Structure 1
Amino acid sequence: MTDNLATRPWRSGDLDMLRTSESLFAPQTYPRCFAAGSRRSRPFHMLVSDQMNASARRWTGQVAVTGDSIVALAECAWDPADPESPTVRVSVAEDRQGTQLGYQVLRELVGHCLSIGLTTFTVDYAASNVTVDSMLQAIAAETGDRYALSGLTRGGLGHLTVRAAG
């Protein structure tokens, strides 16, 4: 796609932009959390807002934006008291999947996280989603021995831990 696509760190006004862009993301592409007492999934922007506002956790994100729409979001949430707690998630708009955009925002997010001292990340994903696994493998390969990856798959779920070397 040749539109004016830009990637950048999350900004304070991005939650409203994500709310208006939410229809671009297929519900199965973002983490589904059910509202208390209900079987309906929470809207994507509310999931992000919950992560950002959790009192005991910190949050950072990297977005891809075109016009007034967010078309990809990589996010990391962690407990400052636990250096191995960072959890990473990547969501890409349905019509942008398969374009390397998820890889780009994830690589930029991981670089930012390393610059602020986060060195271990976990990613949970559907084991059938080879894109997430291959993205993380490609980031590790691109940077040489800077990362060590370990993971397991059980019951259709993949769990991958990425540790910065050294």
Structure 2
Amino acid sequence: MPTPVKVNRIGLEPQIYKGGKTTLCAGCGHNAISERIIDAFYEMGVNPRHVIKLSGIGCSSKSPAYFLGGSHGFNAVHGRMPSVGTGAMLANKKLIAIGVSGDGDTGAIGIGQFVHLMRRNLPIIYIIEDNGCYGLTKGQFSPTADLGSKLKTGVVNDLPPIDT
């Protein structure tokens, strides 16, 4: 007798919720976030075709490629993902929007966009992948880096973090 295929409440297999193979650094927490998104959307029975994934620039911008492969996606320019998400939600209110942004993308160049997205209270799941640094550009402090944290070069962060 064949083993029954595992499906969720809408009849989709777990594989449908996965994306491409990761290219992120080993041990990167972004992969764990992607895995939890896959788990949550599968368990909730959300059809990936009803989802739009949004991202900005940086390590976090790669994350949406690793979950919900059959969904819509848009990679915005640095700091502008909230504006693109606003437009997407106003254009098609039936979509489920999930935005993935980094601490630099959200807390620096995109802080104005982020504040206005929150002010508008649009139904967008907004995940900030916060590692306290600009990981793709040699690890400079991001606006959320802890006071007193050190770079590999020995430089100490003397600025308090913003609270995103």
- TM-score of the two chains, using structure 2 as the length reference: 0.28
Whichever of the two has the greater Rg, that structure is: 2
Higher strand share: 1
